[in-house]
Amino acid sequence: MTQAPRWRRRKEARPSEIVDAALGAFVERGYAATRLEDVAARAGIGKGTLYLYFSGKEELFKAVVRQHLLPALAAAERRVETADGPTPALLAEVLGTLIAAAAGPMGAIPKLVIGEAANFPDLARFYADEVVARGFGVLRALVARGVERGEFRPMDPDAVAPLLAAPMLLTALWKNALEPHASRELDTATMARTAVELLQLGLLPRREEGP
């Protein structure tokens, strides 16, 4: 059966399709060089139709972040809030999931923000508030949980959260900026597992030294 053209599909699907097209255009061209005409062409619609859903490129970029990044953060928040198992295992699970996500298409978004921050400070501020602050919040909650339960040694969750986030940023930048030009690929699964092991060793209570 022949698939109907995108512009004939149900109206409710259009915003999501436009956002997916915008992500592809932003990754390929960068934020500054992407025109709304490019996004509309990818989505199979006219530019005028795009304006029915989004007022401009900045709103479209924010929609990309909300559709492709925030669901993963929301899932991590729910997991931390509802988990009842040991915190070290929960930390490994959450970090592993987020690092794997950073290796996928959504990992292009941090690279875009970093590259465009100087010219588009409002977008950088939006990303810092909507993504980074929430991500740090998840990691702070994990550390605080472990400290409170005696599973981690006493540490400042605010100081630890950025260190826990570092493997995610490295993965995103490597996969979307460096790896195409590097002589080797980054084994993100092995890196995620190793990073979690190292971070856990730093968080677990120190054993009493023998005589």
Tokens, residue 127: 């990303």
Backbone angles phi, psi at 70, to 5 degrees: -65, -35
pLDDT tens readout for residues 119-145:
999 999 999 999 999 999 999 999 999
Distance between CA atoms of 138 and 169, rounded to whole angstroms?
15
Q: What is the 3-state secondary structure (H, E, C) of 92-136?
A: HHHHHHHHHHHCCHHHHHHHHHHHHCCCCHHHHHHHHHHHHHHHH
- What are the structural domains of the chain? 6-58 (1.10.10.60), 69-203 (1.10.357)
Distance CA 164, CA 162 (A): 5
| CA angle in degrees (0–180, nearest 5) for 206-77-103 | 85
Give the residue among 64, 38, 36, 61 at the shortest CA–CA distance from 51.
36
Q: pLDDT of the chain along its 211 residues, tens only? A: 444 444 444 455 589 999 999 999 998 898 999 999 999 999 999 999 999 999 999 999 999 999 999 999 999 999 999 999 999 999 999 998 899 888 888 888 998 999 899 999 999 999 999 999 999 999 999 999 999 999 999 999 999 999 999 999 999 988 888 888 888 887 878 888 888 888 888 898 876 533 3
Predicted pLDDT at 74: 94
Q: Is the pTM of this model over 0.75?
A: yes
d(C-alpha 39, C-alpha 169), whole Å: 26
What is the C-alpha separation between 162 and 196, in angstroms, rounded? 14
Q: How far is CA 6 from the centre of its chain?
A: 28
